[in-house]
């Protein structure tokens, strides 16, 4: 069974225009998911996740520049937590292991750093994700699947920390945005 969790910015936009002698129009983008309740888990985000998005506190260029290349800024890290419960397989309560992998666009040669996809990107700044249990870095090529024991009736918790990371010397101000997809299989 497979459950995808998209940790990204999902937007609903309304565009209004008014022109002389023309009617106003509105466009609405709606996203949704159809699930198979016989083969799924309920996944509830918590920690710093709001509406599928984690917003890190601003960081000063000087603070990020002071870090070693590829070292996350733990001082500004935020908790990324998912509660997994009510897992079903073939309509029955599931007991066993959950395998959690994470995928996303990463910097070539550095699968543990998400590519900065911001419209006005900060120079030499990106994002990293660490496992809260052992501080290991998540690789966004899906190769570092985490195995979590799951018992029906007892929620499992997936805990991570998201942080800024310096990708090279010469950090400059701008925005930082990365998109990661968590996949749970069992």
Percent of the chain scored above 70 by pLDDT?
81
Per-residue pLDDT for 55 more than 70? yes
In a domain, 86, yes or no: yes
Q: Which domain holds residue 153?
A: 2-7+39-185
**What's the average model confidence in pLDDT over 9-17?**
34
2: pLDDT confidence band, cut at 50, 70 and 90?
low
List of residues 6+ apart from 130 with CB closer than 8 A: 72, 77, 136, 137, 138, 160, 161, 163
Mean pLDDT, the chain, integer: 84
Whether residue 16 lies inside any domain: the answer is: no
Residue 170 lies in a domain: yes
Query: What pTM did the predictor assign?
Result: 0.78
Residue 171 is predicted with a pLDDT of 96
Residue 173 within any structural domain of the chain: yes
Q: What is the mean pLDDT of residues 107-136?
A: 94
Per-residue model confidence (pLDDT) at position 61? 95
Can you say whether residue 169 is alpha, beta or left, with left for phi > 0 and alpha for psi between -120 and 50 degrees?
A: beta
pLDDT at 146 over 90: no
CATH number of the domain bearing residue 157: 2.60.40.1090
Whether 24 is covered by a domain: the verdict is no
Taking residues 29-39, report their average pLDDT.
67
Whether residue 29 is contained in a domain is answered as no
* Residue 59 within any structural domain of the chain: yes
- Give the pLDDT score at 133: 85
Q: How far apart are CA 121 and CA 19, in angstroms?
A: 34
How many folded domains does the chain comprise?
1
- Report yes or no on 13 lying in a domain: no
């Amino acid at each position: 069974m497979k459950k995808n969790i998209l940790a990204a910015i999902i937007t609903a936009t309304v565009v209004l225009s008014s022109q002389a002698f023309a009617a106003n129009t509105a466009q609405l983008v709606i996203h949704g998911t159809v699930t198979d309740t016989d083969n799924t888990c309920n996944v509830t985000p918590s920690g710093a996740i709001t509406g599928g998005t984690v917003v890190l506190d601003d960081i000063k260029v000087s603070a990020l520049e002071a870090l070693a290349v590829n070292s996350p800024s733990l001082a500004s890290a935020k908790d990324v937590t998912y509660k997994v419960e009510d897992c079903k397989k073939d309509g029955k309560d599931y007991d066993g292991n959950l395998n959690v992998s994470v995928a996303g666009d990463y910097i070539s040669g550095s699968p543990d750093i998400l590519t900065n996809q911001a419209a006005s990107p900060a120079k030499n700044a990106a994002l990293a994700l660490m496992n809260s249990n052992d501080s290991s870095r998540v690789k966004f090529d899906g190769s570092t699947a985490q195995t979590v024991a799951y018992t029906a009736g007892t929620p499992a918790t997936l805990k991570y920390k998201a942080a800024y990371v310096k990708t090279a010397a010469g950090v400059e101000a701008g925005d930082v945005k990365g998109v990661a997809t968590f996949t749970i299989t069992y």
